[in-house]
Chains A and B, each alone.
Chain A
Amino acid sequence: MKQENIRNFCIIAHIDHGKSTLADRMIEMTNSVDLRDMKNQLLDSMDIERERGITIKSQAVSMTYSYKGEEFLLNLVDTPGHVDFSYEVSRAISSCEGALLLVDAAQGVEAQTLANLYLALEHDLTIIPVINKIDLPSADIEGVKKQIDHDLGLDPDTAVCVSAKAGTNIDQILEAIVTSIPAPTTTEDDTLKALIFDSHYDPYRGVIVHVRIFSGSIKEGDKLFFFHQNSTYKVEEAGKFKIKLSRTGSLVDGEVGYIICGIKNISDVRVGDTVTSVSSPCSKPLKGFKEVKPVVYSSIYPVDTNDYNELVNSLEKLKLNDASLVYEKDSSAALGFGFRCGFLGLLHLEVIQQRLEREFDLSVIFTSPSVQYKVALKGGSEIFVENPAHYPDPSSIETVFEPYIKANIITPDDFLGPIMNLCLEKRGVQIHMNYLDTKRVELVYEIPLAEVLYDFYDTLKSISRGYASFDYEVIDLRETNLVKVDILVNGEAVDALSLLVHKQNAEYRARVVCKKLREEIPRHQFKIPIQGSIGTKVIARETISAMRKDVTAKCYGGDISRKKKLLQKQKEGKKRMKLVGNVELPQNAFLAVLKSEEK
């Protein structure tokens, strides 16, 4: 394929605006997959993506398309919309020259639409605005065009109006891709420069490295030098992304594809690294990516301590495909041995939890998530703490700093009041407020990250009837008034339930946790007090009354089998519980602590 007939582009949008569905239609239109293999959101290949109907990992696919008698190679990358996975978007963007920016015709421009647009503009991508879901009765094409003009600063006349679901006007998009996205620029320079923009692990073939070639070429047998890693590998296989990997033997300037170099460990490959050739290396690497840093931390414990080794193996396997997952050993008096893990957000945490349970059949407990605090100790030293268990004695603390985010919220002005209240409640500081048009407002707040983790997004959605959207980035650390709340179950502090919270919220949070625990912990045959305390001061209290079931019920000769079955069931249930003192805590009790109070 000639260089000028290649188009590298990604699809970016706010969550749920229809990226993966649009990818389906393009794959179909270009006959890139057999009809019988076609299914909805084809590129969402992980079980968890299909189940939740969201994209978590970017997926690349190559399609051939003839336009005016000429064949074009279209390399598409479908990206996730959720803010937790926005690093996936930045990677995709750096491998492309163009982007389809989708806007839901009924929802209009939302917070991630803007955030992703900015990412694309930073990389000088050519942007084709696409108005999707025009089949919806509530679609407001004209209104969205105005937003594209005003909010996005793009030419609304270039917008393509489509229905990805119904397959309307897909040809117009393909045409626009060919005509307005530039072909990858070629350089005279034929020293190899390729960017690793992603990687994944295949149990049979090892690490598959996703590369975009910016100059030079790669062919099988070549010896490559990985800049950051400072190591050399020999290319065993090179090819492109069809629906499956398709071996081509080489990749040339401007192309996007994969290489397999016998790398066993995904951590030996750094996404963002530059690949060059050993024989004639380039002088300096390409600009890489910002390192992805965890946003929240939580500890993972196996419900059954015998499963520890399995948890070790499972996490290693997950890590193979998810370099953003970081963890180290941890232990708890209540829960035994486990791992302290860092996640990109709560969705990421939930995804890992579900994958451990579904794919690895493990029962695990996640402890209450926490952000990372900086603690200045008396005597001048500083430590970072993200685990309540490691929180130093309050008398030794000078000052604590907590991470803040910059939150961008877009909402119809009808909900302005309640949203401003919410932000205030969450200790937010308004930085900026700006009418996008006569009805829609963009709000910029600086809010403690911890506040956003807890309860913010759901509340925002519910008070705006789903209309407000939200995007954030972590900005800095600021002084705060932190306390550690301990949770005592039946008089024993359960270390894995401890929380670090702002003093102002301590009582409320402790009450919610105690109440949740009361709902989740099954009644035992004795009364169980649940308390929240700061130091020795009890700030919240609930009691689980005891049950008598089956204890005083009759049990004669004919009831033996039935009674035994009941106990066996109870035993099975217990396997999913953690014994803390004399109390059996179900997995859900720990999860409940993460969840907000139902409104």
Chain B
Amino acid sequence: MSKVAGLYIHIPFCRVKCDYCSFYSVTKFDTHLIDLYLAKVVDQVFFLKDKYQISLFDTVFIGGGTPSLIPPASLALFIDRLNLSGVKEFTVEVNPESVTSEFLASCGDSGVNRISAGVQTFSQKHRDIIGRVGQEEKVLAGLDLIAGAGFKHFSIDLISHLPQDSISRISGDIKSAAGYGIDHMSIYSLSVEDGTPLSDRGATEADEDLAYDQAFGEVVESCGLSKYEISNYAKADCQSLHNLKYWDMEDFVGVGPVASGTICDSQNRFVRHENPADLSKYLLQSSKFEQIVYSKLSRNEAIFENFMMGLRLIRGIDNLLFVKKFQALPLSFIPKTYDRFSEFFLVDSEFTSLTPAGRNILNTILVDILDELEF
């Protein structure tokens, strides 16, 4: 057993559902269900660890849903049962509107060294527009608690391109977030997904607004955070190690409903496992976890995913890692696409990346790569 992997654990519980949210989570639960669930998760972690011969989870991310709804004592017991050691980065996602000092203390005692707080926006007007759970004052109070708890790393999530948005709204949010001494920030543009109440209300995604994009990019930089991925910013050496595994297509395991993971086996084949998007199905399966769907990625499919994820990074695809997996440099697989978009690619000995203009047309480029790799 020599494999090192990341571990993602999904906590599918939320107090109420946000209007824009299309993640899988349930709002009817009690502490008993949470405990039952966590027990199952522990089982699955060991099941997958064993299956893939993983010796070490060096990054752990407990996300959601709303992990901060787990009672502090249950959380401590849960993490203890996972029997983790040698974790370099251990993140727990919290919703600042409902986080408690007890919960944070429990995190700290259990080895958690990074808190990721889902703020989305400080503006109450915009929280109402997108139907984000929680009131502004509670959010501020929660953030104070986190900042005071002294975790090594602290990240805040914001959403850009909201309906009725303005440069001053997003800039204000970024500055407010930076005021909490964070070392990492994620800013996603709002996606209006079909079937969500937000979409039913007729909300649409914003048009491109270069002035907006540029303005908020500058504000983030002025707060000492540099962009390292399409929607992520960090202080030096504070990039999310766990998320980098996704973008570099390194091994990671996903546990809990809808969670998925990808592992590269000894023959350099990529195997994906996907959990059902249904809590009861998840809970009711046997200790063999027969609800997991496994799929083997074809070589070209894996290469494609590597482009899809790796080109999101500002530094780009790590050539060495890529060659280790596929025995050739990235661009050698996509001569046609490169020919067409060469002005947007940057290549040096270490990395293959896109220019900022290239990242703006990432999807167009990816569709061409998809076409060229044909799987």
Interface residues of A (CB under 8 A from B): 523-527, 545-558, 560-561, 563-564, 567-568, 570-571, 574, 582
Contacts and interface: CB of A to CB of B under 8 A. Distances in A.
Nearest to B369: A567
B230 A552 contact: yes
A558 B231 contact: no
A552 B231 contact: yes
A523 B363 CA distance: 12
15 contacts: A525-B364, A546-B360, A547-B208, A548-B213, A551-B230, A552-B160, A552-B189, A554-B186, A554-B231, A555-B309, A557-B246, A557-B254, A558-B259, A567-B370, A571-B371
Contacts of B360: 525-526, 546, 551
A555 B312 contact: yes
A571 B208 contact: no
A493 to B, nearest CB: 20
B171 to A, nearest CB: 16
Contacts of B245: 557
Nearest to A546: B208
Contacts, number: 99
Nearest to B189: A552
A548 B188 contact: no
Contact of B188 (A527, A553, A571): A553
Contacts of A563: 308
B293 to A, nearest CB: 10
B208 A561 contact: no
Interface in B222-270: 230-231, 243, 245-246, 252, 254, 258-262
A406 B113 CA distance: 85
Given A545-B207, A558-B8, A551 B305 contact: no
B219 to A, nearest CB: 15
A107 to B, nearest CB: 42
Nearest to A575: B371
Interface string B160-191: 11000000000000000000000000111101
B262 A557 contact: yes
Nearest to B207: A545
Interface residues of B, number: 44
Contacts of A555: 230, 246, 308-309, 312
B133 interface: no
A552 B231 CA distance: 6
A552 B364 contact: no
B21 interface: no
Name the 8 nearest CB pairs between A and B, nearest first. A546-B208, A525-B361, A557-B246, A552-B189, A545-B207, A554-B188, A553-B191, A571-B367
Contact of A549 (B205, B243, B246, B370): B205
Contacts of A547: 205, 207-208
A567 B365 CA distance: 10
A560 B362 contact: no
Contacts of B154: none
A571 B262 CA distance: 24
B308 A560 contact: yes
Given A551-B189, A552-B188, 18 more contacts: A525-B364, A526-B361, A545-B208, A548-B189, A548-B208, A549-B191, A551-B230, A551-B359, A551-B360, A554-B231, A557-B245, A557-B252, A557-B261, A561-B260, A567-B370, A570-B367, A571-B367, A571-B370
B152 to A, nearest CB: 21
Contact of B363 (A525, A554, A557, A582): A525
Say what secondary structure dominates the interface of chain B: mixed
B189 A557 contact: no
B260 A551 contact: no
Given A551-B359, A568-B370, A560 B309 contact: yes
A558 B254 contact: yes
B274 interface: yes
B292 to A, nearest CB: 14
A553 B359 CA distance: 12
Interface string B66-87: 0000000000000000000000
Contacts of A567: 308, 363, 366-367, 370
A220 B208 CA distance: 74
Contacts of A527: 208
A546 B207 contact: yes
Contacts of B230: 551-552, 555
A158 B363 CA distance: 71
B329 to A, nearest CB: 22
Nearest to B249: A560
A551 B363 contact: yes
A529 to B, nearest CB: 14
A489 to B, nearest CB: 15
A527 B363 CA distance: 15
B305 A560 contact: yes
B278 to A, nearest CB: 15
B206 interface: yes
A555 to B, nearest CB: 6
Given A527-B208, A549-B191, A554-B231, A561 B359 contact: no
B103 interface: no
A524 B364 contact: yes
B282 interface: no
Nearest to A566: B363
B90 interface: no
A194 B208 CA distance: 70
B355 to A, nearest CB: 13
A523 B209 CA distance: 13
Interface in B92-141: none
Interface in B187-201: 187-189, 191
Contacts of A582: 364
A568 B371 CA distance: 9
A524 B359 CA distance: 13
B62 to A, nearest CB: 13
A570 to B, nearest CB: 5
Given A552-B231, A555-B309, A560-B309, A525 B260 contact: no
A547 B362 CA distance: 12
Contacts of A552: 160-161, 187-189, 230-231
Contacts of A568: 370
Max chain B C-beta neighbours (<10 A), residue from A525, A556, A567, A574: A556
A560 B262 contact: yes
A206 to B, nearest CB: 41
A217 B221 CA distance: 95
